[in-house]
Chain A
């Protein structure tokens, strides 16, 4: 089945540790995105990538890093510099054409204590 997978579903870390969230897609989409969602809030864009080996900062990139070495993979690292890392992280992908609808993975719920 085509789709986007994120792992793990739940992740617990101690403050001060870096953590990497996985995102893989087999939809052959060019673009991939990382969002953060906090309770009662909308999605905020962290980073996005339109092509392999290229990515751009979104609205809240501070404390995060990404890589795009393969078309199907777009891992997100939450560094210790991120002040409030506890959140629901969503990865999405899209293809360019007449519209830009994005398709989401199931998300990773990160808790940092």
Chain B
């Protein structure tokens, strides 16, 4: 079982739609969680951190459920420019000083006009 798992998609949605991605992680010792966005043939860029209390940034909302070991990303009012691959990321196990992150394989979103 992969340490961080995502549905690769693709998710094809019309402009203006609300879309949600889920991601599960297997290591209960993971401390830090993030969503990154990666455009085609570009580097990943940090979209937002994920906290147990939830985190909202404009049209984007991220949530962490430690009991069920999953994190989610909700995108409201999808724009064409939201088309990208979204990477779910969890902190590595062990000492909090390792700083290792485990990346999911990504979920591809295609927003259509």
Binding site for B on A (CB under 8 A): 31, 35, 40-43, 45, 48, 50, 58, 88, 90, 94, 96, 99-107, 109
Given contacts A100-B32, A105-B43, contact A50 B97 (CB under 8 A): yes
For B103, the chain A residues whose CB sits under 8 A away are: 35, 42-43
B-side interface size class: 20 to 34
Closest CB in chain A relative to B16 CB, distance in Å: 28
For B43, the chain A residues whose CB sits under 8 A away are: 90, 104-107
Complex formed: what's the CA distance from A110 to B104 in Å?
22
For B109, the chain A residues whose CB sits under 8 A away are: none
- For A100, give its contact among B87, B91, B106 (CB under 8 Å): B91
Binding site for A on B (CB under 8 A): 4, 8, 31-32, 34, 41-46, 49, 87, 91, 97-101, 103-106
Contact in complex: A104, B44 (CB < 8 Å): yes
Complex formed: what's the CA distance from A44 to B42 in Å?
16
Given contacts A43-B44, A106-B42, contact A99 B49 (CB under 8 A): yes
User: Which of B45, B99, B105 is the most central at the interface, judged by chain A CB atoms within 10 Å of its CB?
Assistant: B99
